[in-house]
Structure 1
Amino acid sequence: MIRKIYTAILGVGLLAGCTKDPSSVSPTDQYSTSNYPASINDLNSVLAPCYSNMRDAGYLGFHFLPKALSNSMHAVDAIYDGDPGWNEMAKNNLSISNQYAAEAWQVLFTGVKNCNVTLKAADFYATNYSKGNDAADIDAIRGQAYTLRAYYYMQLECLFGESYITTSGGGDKRGVPIFDKVPASLDSTAVPRSTVKAVWDLIKSDLQKAATLLKGKAWTGDDRGKATEWTAKGLLGKAYIYTQDWANAKTTLQDVVTNSGKSLMNYAKYRDAFVGNATNEFNEESLFELNIDPDAKGNYGVYGDNINATSINGLIWCPWNLGTDGTEGGSQPMGYGNEIFHDRSVVRFGYTLGSYTLVDNPNFNSNKPAAFDNPKKIMDPAYRTKAVAARTNLTVDPRLYVAGLQPWVDSVKPDGKTWYPVSMPGFFAGQAGKYGFSVRKNAVIYNNINNQGPADGANFYLLRLADVYLLYAEALHNSGTDATALEYLNKVKRRAYSLPVDAASSVDYKSFTDVTPANSANDPVLGHNPLYYERWAELYNEGSWWFDVCRWRIGKTEADFYQNALNVHEGTLSSQWNDGKSYVWPIPLTEINSNPKITSADQNPGYK
């Protein structure tokens, strides 16, 4: 697989790049390193695929979040059971031929390749064409390439590395192959697995270089999504956390907290920050954000005429709206509707009202046909009153309503014009004991995704300040500074409850074993662990919880808590979880078949 990624550039040089939001990033021509890149614009065109690769259909453009990580984390519940790889993710029991693991491996290593190509191109340009005033621009391009290479390697190592590093060890385990430059020959594309420590050392080194090269660089206009010094330092702090280097984590993250100029957005803006509102993009909390173009120019964007410029995740986790006939049985998904918000997550956010029932609508107008605005049956008004009061009185974690949409209480615009009530999905209609929330975070709520190209409109946060605050709290807690650590946990929680971030409040945690909203769901781990709960609630369905589950080794209790998935019909999730296997994805069979330096003997434990 990696050999194929590099083969196209060997002997020819670099592949043509693209602009920020290209209509296509597929190479249309090739050029020789004897005369290209010959300008800073040329060099930026080589850098562009380092970013656009993130929107590949096998990564953040489509499959990675809704079909892989969201199911692995059980943030969603998938009704569709016709895809074996998808079902394996929900069971946390992957095979070596799992499609989504293989796609992630290929796309992430393509990103590494693109970054290596950029670094080589920067060296070439600096030697052959650089002018006296180009040095800062070259440094900025190199800094971005190092940041992105580290990001890709961090994802690879967390998914495919045999172990995390802890204070007890783990660095000698098997990590992923390291490519720190463009291979000089086809033979040199066959690389064995490096150690876990070697991979993390590369990640940290790249981010340290990037922070220096990008120091003081600020981006404006169309460049706002580019990596900065604070992107690099925030990711470096996360790398220290992931390897339990608490001292360096504390120092690095404190630098971001104190000097980045970033601040937490207020709750109203936070709630509106994941649904495609362009006025919220690249805001005061964002440290690294992937730009998404809502215009797919047809043919499902990532598969059509606007490759790597958009995403179509909303096809899978789209909301459901009440049917035009006013019934839940006639409800419609604003896309494919293959996944909904997992019912067990509703109660984990502290929702204690139980499920609702439908009753006759006292305001039904029998002189008009039943319709979404004239339904015969409605949510029990007494229940609805309690549900609204729970929001108003903050007796439920408000982040539930950032992450999910509640039937009959929330609304969406399936036609882009008219507000419809959110509905219990049609496949749940008539079933007792269901909550039936839809996914809200990173979903399309202002239009049916098929009406937009189809394409999503919401940018993805790859790193934001709330994440940094929670990582900083973890570093402080593990350094014996609990009072300050609790303060940073509480800052994030206060924002969620619309309270002043820097002032003590009634919702503050008093200790690292204090009760959390998850306790009402009898959660044995998150119910009395504010650090774990806050990362789960704050970053829900943003893709990072899986890495927390794996580094904290809480997979079995997570599987036991969620119990089952709709697309899993044999047994329960807990019976599928295997501590010796499930924490790490398999090295893809395609890699073993194509790379002579990685054989079946080098496969991760538990896979055959």
Structure 2
Amino acid sequence: MYRKIVYLLIAAVGVAAGCTKDPAAVTRNDAYASNNYPTSLPNLFATLVPAYGNWRSAELQGFELLCKDFAALEHATELAYGGDPSWTELTVNNLSTNNSYANDLWVGLYRGVKSTEVFFDRADFYEKNYASATEKDAISQMRGEAHFLRALYYFYLETFYGESYISGGQGGDKKGVPIITKVAPDLGTTQVKRNSVKEVWDFIIAELQLSAQQLKGVQWGGNDKGRATEWAAKALLGKAYVFTGDYASAKPILQDIINNSGKQLMPFSKYKDAFNGNSANEYNEESLFEINVDRNALGGYGIFSFPNNLTTSQGLIWSPCIIGDDGTEDNGAGLGYCNEFFNDKNLQRFGFNLPIYTTVANPDFDAGKKGSPKNLPKILDPAYRAQSLAFRSNQTVDPRLYVNAMQPWIDSGSNDGSTWRPICKFIGIGSGQRANFHGWSFKKFVTYDNTIFNRQAAADAANYYLLRLADIYLLYAETLINTGDAAQGLEYINKVKRRAYNYPVNGASPVDYTSLSDKTMAQDATLANNPLRYERWAELFNEGQWWFDVCRWKLGSSEAKYYATSLVGGAINWNDSKSYVWPVPINEINTNSNMTQSSGY
């Protein structure tokens, strides 16, 4: 993400004070003037910036997409707040056509498409009227960025709203999303039909091929280092090929990234701290494309401020909980809104099999003083603590659990940036339900070293990875397995696992899988004997990837059976005829006479 976004106000100038204006000559000061803008290369880049910045909008990574949409769909979280019916629908995978999140995501993604169309329109204008011969390469590179961003927006549109993935050459005739490639000059041109699934994927692939060509060899540094590159385009291209079952085309693209991009898996020492706002880890050796998030925001209420901050407010939703001022869980404190906590079923999948913990009286408690974070009336049962710590040191639990979650009474957080307190059982769970849950807090992408309200109000810290090399390794493994090289495919699965267990990536290790049906940490039928599935679930947990795998591999019913219930929504009732596809928002149906709804709705 372009790091130093410039907020532009393009004003009409040159009219002397006191002059009488012809009403027909009055121009808007809140929009680009299509007859004279842009007139310079920096101005042209300014028209591309919104296509990047839109990813931090409230409907997307700024607030809803990861912590609400993906987290609920994938059951990464357990929702403790029951006051939002649309959110509750997400937790049981049963959306209605008026679901607010389905509407918001559609709007946010198509607004991103529109931003790229504006850039292409202005690039044509600038090339025709102002560009010098020496600027042609820079303009072409910007076009490459815009093609990548447009493909990325359509990738999300199609994976959420397209009626089907393409598998075994089937499904391409189903309804995809409308492809729009020009700025709409009037309302009539917005009345568009849905393209077929195949047409949309073909469009995405063509966009990425062109992007990779236009960005070939381009390297960004300094404040530009978050801009799209050839390797970002190829990474999404390889993913698109895998997602459409075209493994023959995916193989050379993914291999090219692995061999020639210069990227490598970051060491575990960095990986364990790569999701929580450490600026030294941003744009690291594994990252192919990420959304920039600045901790030091402009003040106000995060992304809901004006002007928008270079931040997100997702941390409000899955914020951790710490023991209270009196040293007890009963008066625990939240570091944000505390709407979601770590789903207990995921503890089991990562290999943590201890029962729900108990606390005991603290023998060192000073009864003559009030309880406090330094004078705890109760502590975790010592035997339970010893077992929990042994799980970590002996790696009998997948180490990625502790990258993703924080354990009550073992891990710590702070609500003032200096005093650290034990994590407590999640305070959002009702008192009548608390004994039934482990109640761990989230860690990945979470601000836990200070209450989020002390961070210039609702300002997160961590950049969000959209494409990273571990994902590419696992896509390559899948490709190799499906093109007749199972042994090499298994090796790439093991490379990802080795890093997670802090072993050298390229040599055999004690934790290697010995076959593609070897035992994993999971106990459920979906993942227990499928290392490829398990590694994609565990490695990319809570990064907005697993939902795509659930849909393309048709794992919905087995996932619903495993997670079984939602705290606020009750039973998860999966419906194969509709649950894999989000409905086209009712607002779109009502305003676009050519729009048709997906099957099942």
TM range (shorter): over 0.9
CA contact (8 A) 2:400 2:538 kept: yes
CA 312–372 in structure 1, closer or farther in 2 if over 3 Å, else same: same
Q: Is residue 581 from structure 1 mapped to residue 578 from structure 2 by the alignment?
A: yes
Structure-2 residue corresponding to 1:435: 438
Deviation at 1:184, TM superposition (A): 4.2
Counterpart secondary structure, 2:581:
coil
Q: What are the superposed Cα offsets for residues 199-243 of structure 1, whole Å, 9 maximum, x if unpaired?
A: 001100000000000001111111111100000000000000110
**Structure 1 residue identity aligned to 2:452:** I
Structure-2 residue corresponding to 1:496: 500
Structure-1 residue corresponding to 2:193: 192
Structure-1 residue corresponding to 2:269: 268
Deviation at 1:22, TM superposition (A): 4.6
**Structure 2 residue identity aligned to 1:106:** V
Matches within 5 A, 1:191-340: 191-307=192-308, 309-340=310-341
Percent identity over paired residues? 51
Among candidates 449, 455, 475, match of residue 446 of structure 1? 449
**Structure 1 residue identity aligned to 2:579:** S
Q: What are the superposed Cα offsets for residues 238-266 of structure 1, whole Å, 9 maximum, x if unpaired?
A: 00011000011111111111111001111
CA contact (8 A) 2:414 2:421 kept: yes
Runs (4 or more) in structure 1 with deviation over 6 Å come to 24-27
Counterpart secondary structure, 2:466:
strand
Unaligned runs of 5+ in 1: 1-17
355-364 or 550-559: bigger deviation = 355-364
CA 41–23 in structure 1, closer or farther in 2 if over 3 Å, else same: closer
Matches within 5 A, 1:541-560: 541-560=542-561
Deviation at 1:354, TM superposition (A): 2.2
Structure-1 residue corresponding to 2:344: 343
Q: Is residue 101 from structure 1 mapped to residue 102 from structure 2 by the alignment?
A: yes
CA contact (8 A) 2:3 2:226 kept: no
**Structure 1 residue identity aligned to 2:481:** H
Instruction: Work out the CA distance in 1 between the residues paired with 2:591 and 2:424.
Output: 48
Structure-2 residue corresponding to 1:141: 142
Instruction: Work out the CA distance in 2 between the residues paired with 1:241 and 1:579.
Output: 22
Instruction: Work out the CA distance in 2 between the residues paired with 1:32 and 1:444.
Output: 41
Q: What are the superposed Cα offsets for residues 366-399 of structure 1, whole Å, 9 maximum, x if unpaired?
A: 2321112211111101111110111011000000
CA 28–517 in structure 1, closer or farther in 2 if over 3 Å, else same: farther
Structure-2 residue corresponding to 1:604: 598
Instruction: Work out the CA distance in 1 between the residues paired with 2:140 and 2:262.
Output: 22
Structure-1 residue corresponding to 2:42: 41
CA 183–428 in structure 1, closer or farther in 2 if over 3 Å, else same: closer
CA contact (8 A) 1:19 1:48 kept: no
Deviation at 1:352, TM superposition (A): 1.8
Q: What are the superposed Cα offsets for residues 265-295 of structure 1, whole Å, 9 maximum, x if unpaired?
A: 1112111111111111100000001001223
Deviation at 1:296, TM superposition (A): 3.5
Deviation at 1:28, TM superposition (A): 5.6
Q: What are the superposed Cα offsets for residues 420-473 of structure 1, whole Å, 9 maximum, x if unpaired?
A: 111112336684353211011111111111111221011100100001111111
Counterpart secondary structure, 2:360:
strand
306-315 or 65-74: bigger deviation = 306-315
Structure-2 residue corresponding to 1:487: 491
**Structure 1 residue identity aligned to 2:5:** D
Structure-2 residue corresponding to 1:539: 540
Counterpart secondary structure, 2:133:
coil
CA contact (8 A) 1:428 1:434 kept: no
Among candidates 442, 451, 475, match of residue 471 of structure 1? 475
**Structure 1 residue identity aligned to 2:486:** D
Counterpart secondary structure, 1:171:
coil
Task: Give the alignment's TM-score, normalised by structure 2.
Answer: 0.94
Counterpart secondary structure, 2:78:
strand
Instruction: Work out the CA distance in 1 between the residues paired with 2:592 and 2:247.
Output: 36
Matches within 5 A, 1:557-568: 557-568=558-569
Counterpart secondary structure, 1:462:
strand
CA contact (8 A) 1:190 1:596 kept: yes
CA 202–212 in structure 1, closer or farther in 2 if over 3 Å, else same: same
Q: What are the superposed Cα offsets for residues 463-502 of structure 1, whole Å, 9 maximum, x if unpaired?
A: 0000111111111111111111111111100000000000
Structure-1 residue corresponding to 2:589: 592
RMSD across aligned C-alpha pairs, in angstroms? 1.6
Instruction: Work out the CA distance in 1 between the residues paired with 2:225 and 2:339.
Output: 34
CA contact (8 A) 1:22 1:309 kept: no
Matches within 5 A, 1:392-407: 392-407=393-408
CA 260–244 in structure 1, closer or farther in 2 if over 3 Å, else same: same
CA 432–76 in structure 1, closer or farther in 2 if over 3 Å, else same: same
211-220 or 297-306: bigger deviation = 297-306
Q: Is residue 509 from structure 1 mapped to residue 510 from structure 2 by the alignment?
A: no
**Structure 1 residue identity aligned to 2:593:** P
CA contact (8 A) 1:20 1:52 kept: no
Q: What are the superposed Cα offsets for residues 139-192 of structure 1, whole Å, 9 maximum, x if unpaired?
A: 110000000000000000000000001114100100000012223443222110
Q: What are the superposed Cα offsets for residues 518-559 of structure 1, whole Å, 9 maximum, x if unpaired?
A: 02xxx0110111111101100111111111101110011111
Counterpart secondary structure, 1:287:
strand
**Structure 1 residue identity aligned to 2:194:** R
**Structure 2 residue identity aligned to 1:87:** T
CA contact (8 A) 2:3 2:223 kept: no
CA contact (8 A) 2:3 2:224 kept: no
Deviation at 1:37, TM superposition (A): 1.1
CA 526–125 in structure 1, closer or farther in 2 if over 3 Å, else same: same
Unaligned runs of 5+ in 2: 11-27
Counterpart secondary structure, 1:528:
coil
Instruction: Work out the CA distance in 1 between the residues paired with 2:66 and 2:504.
Output: 33
CA 22–132 in structure 1, closer or farther in 2 if over 3 Å, else same: closer
Instruction: Work out the CA distance in 2 between the residues paired with 1:171 and 1:25.
Output: 44
